[in-house]
A = this chain, B = another copy of it.
Amino acid sequence: MRNGSPPPVVLAISGNDPSGGAGIQADIEAIVSMGCHAAPVITALTVQDTRNATRVVPTDPALVVEQAEAVLADMQVAAIKLGLLPNAAVAGAVAELLSRYPGIPVVLDPVLIAGGGAQLAEDEVVQVMRTRLVPLALVVTPNSDEARSLAPDAGSLDECALALVALGARFVLLKGAHEDTPVVFNRLFDRNGLVERFEWARLPGSFHGSGCTLASALAGLIARGTEPASATHQAQQFVHDALVHGYRVGRGQPVPNRMFWAGQRE
């Protein structure tokens, strides 16, 4: 048995992607790469390849909660990462669950649409996120489309992010990859406004699972005690490296190589 304390536990609440590029596998690999133990709770099964998703089968909300409760009763959970919440019933059940564990930091990746364009979460999920999940999140990680969906009345994207902070999120990391800029600008906001602007070289093409990877790496770093602002920077670096070392395993988008860091960091 290894010496010292066990690794911190990250509860990952997400859907399964059988291609292994996104979803719970992305979460597990990113969390493990950060030196944490993952505890996977499945919110939906999907039929999906590296191009797009063709079917989403939501898990019964009570079963989502039962899976999570089994973990929360057994282990000390250091952070919770929320990925796909396929419908309002599952999202609401998760919000109710989280309200009973107020001390655990939550990273919310507000997944709505698959990389290939398929709708993964029903429209009503947006309202549950806005009213019940964004307010209890330590960090929310929207891309530009998700930021506009969550804050439809805001003007600029930066104003969308600030609207989510106004709803109660401690930090919002706005991802700029979908914007039409020669480099990628990600921006971190808190209640005082812009905290930091990150600039990344724009990589060719798009990837399957980069958003799940970012949010899960972030949750892993936060579980290890890294400050949120520093953790957002390190998590972006991890994703950048994973994309640079990504590989095309199917006919569609390449997938991040999340095991790149595991070897580097030992």
Contact = CB atoms under 8 A, between A and B. Distances in A.
Interface residues of A, number: 60
A211 B210 CA distance: 31
Interface in A225-266: 244-252, 254-255, 257, 259, 262-266
Interface in A189-245: 244-245
A67 interface: yes
A97 to B, nearest CB: 13
A76 to B, nearest CB: 9
Interface stretch (A41-49, A83-91, A126-134): A41-49
Contacts of A46: 67
Leading 7 A-B pairs by shortest Cβ distance: A263-B266, A49-B74, A74-B250, A6-B247, A262-B262, A18-B67, A6-B249
Contacts of A40: 16-18, 20, 24-25
A50 B37 contact: no
Contacts of A1: 244-248, 254
B245 A2 contact: yes
Contact of A19 (B39, B249, B255): B39
Contacts of A6: 247-249
A150 interface: no
Contacts of A266: 262-264, 266
Given A25-B40, A262-B262, A262-B263, A19 B49 contact: no
A122 interface: no
Interface string A47-58: 111110011010
A174 interface: no
Contacts of A265: 263
Contacts of A188: none
A16 B9 CA distance: 17
8 contacts: A2-B245, A18-B40, A32-B259, A42-B42, A42-B45, A45-B67, A50-B74, A51-B74
